[in-house]
Amino acid sequence: MSGEGRGARQSKRARGAAGQIDLILDALEFSAHKHRDQRRKDPRASPYVNHPIAVAKTLGHDGGVHDPAVIAAALLHDTLEDTRTSAAELRRRFGPRIAAMVREVTDNKRLSKPRRKRLQIEHARGLSRGARLVKMADKIANLRDLLVNPPVGWSLARRREYFDWAKAVVDELRGTNPRLEREFDRIYRRRPGRN
């Protein structure tokens, strides 16, 4: 094969990798902007954007997930639910696949909290593979936060209840990514108040 053909293939790969990085950075920038005035409920009132970053990092580091669309969806996963972002806006900026994954993991805030929690369990098996990955990484990130930096005012009973509910959701997602499942189980074994 000529050096020219090899060079063209390498250049195309480099453009593809650059495009993937650009997509992830664009999602990060969008998420940071949308969540700019939001804080976590922990004692330090950490910047909210730390959470979507933790979810994306969990996917790559713990789950071995490197699909840029799934990573982007992780960075954007709370924008529809917690900011003034529309599904159409996500679709225009990030395309239909990413917008669909974000929609799949978005709770309907008009429903009561108990109903939203029940629906997360009931709908988990029907999610697309990408949305399942994001949902599982989200639960892992939330349990990690509950262990080291729980929200102000959360009692031991409430933290334990969240752990058990997260397990019920993840149990419906099993078979999606063994690495994420093992990481979830490892963290769940540290459930607060366990003897």
Query: What is the per-residue pLDDT across 84-121, written as a single tens digit (0 to 9) for each?
Result: 999 999 999 999 999 999 999 999 999 999 999 999 99
Catalytic residue among 26, 81, 89, 107: 81
Distance CA 183, CA 165 (A): 16
Residue 81 designated active-site:
yes
Catalytic residue among 26, 82, 89, 107: 82
With beta carbons less than 8 A apart as the criterion, state whether 51 and 112 touch. Answer: no
Task: Count other C-beta atoms under 10 Å from residue 51's C-beta.
Answer: 21
Q: Where are the domains of the chain?
A: 3-188
Domain 3-188 in this protein, CATH class:
mainly alpha
> CB under 8 Å to 160, separation ≥6 — which residues?
191, 192, 193
In the predicted model, is pLDDT for residue 187 greater than 90?
Answer: yes
- At residue 113, the pLDDT reads 94
Residue 89 designated active-site:
no
- At residue 193, the pLDDT reads 85
Distance CA 80, CA 192 (A): 31
3-state class (DSSP) for residue 194: coil
Cα Dmax for the chain: 67
Task: Count other C-beta atoms under 10 Å from residue 85's C-beta.
Answer: 21
Amino acid in position 159: R
Task: Count other C-beta atoms under 10 Å from residue 164's C-beta.
Answer: 11
